[in-house]
Amino acid sequence: MRNKSDEELIRLVLAKCREALEELYERYVRLVYSFAFRSTRDEHQAREIVQLVFTRLWSTEKGYDSSKGAFVNWLLTITRNLTIDLLRKERKHSSNLYLQTKHWETFADNRVGPEEIAARNWVKETIQEAYNQLSESQIQLLQMLYWEGYTLSEIAASRNEPLGTVKSRLHQTLKILRRRLPELKEG
């Protein structure tokens, strides 16, 4: 299974091949855990999210579509969505939830070669350069929407701004990032 691509493995997972899921788990458990831990700052919640992510991979009937981007991005989107769901659920039960995130940290993985580390560092630097082109308001909007899990309506209400203004700011922010990150576009 180690010589199979992520796309081949996810097709096997859809066919309920347990070994394929185990291989994907081995490849990506550290990444998923790191992402979840960065978002929650809680070891127990991060482990729960890892379990939810790989359970979702096993139980999904709709697989990864390589025409829409890299497998790792698809996996991190699932992780992000499950993390947001968990945080929103907790926020309902606790009004004192505080989420602190650091921007684009690279985590050490003893199985990652120098090429992968260099590629990650390049992506990190490219994203940081693009972030430097954003205003503080735009950065806060991205933070609240993508990392803290607020909806656009909730952001508008918390800032006492019209929803249309927040949507327009998000549109302009994403436009800036798309212009600044052409190298990262999947094609």
Indicate the domain borders of the chain: 1-98, 113-187
Predicted model pTM? 0.52
Domain 1-98, second-level architecture: Orthogonal Bundle (1.10)
Q: In the chain, which residues have pLDDT < 70?
A: 92-113, 182-187
Same topology for domains 1-98 and 113-187, yes or no?
no
Q: Which pLDDT score, from 0 to 100, does residue 92 have?
A: 64
CATH number assigned to the domain covering 113-187: 1.10.10.10
Q: Which pLDDT score, from 0 to 100, does residue 113 have?
A: 65
Residue 68 CB contacts under 8 Å (≥ 6 apart), including other chains:
74, 186
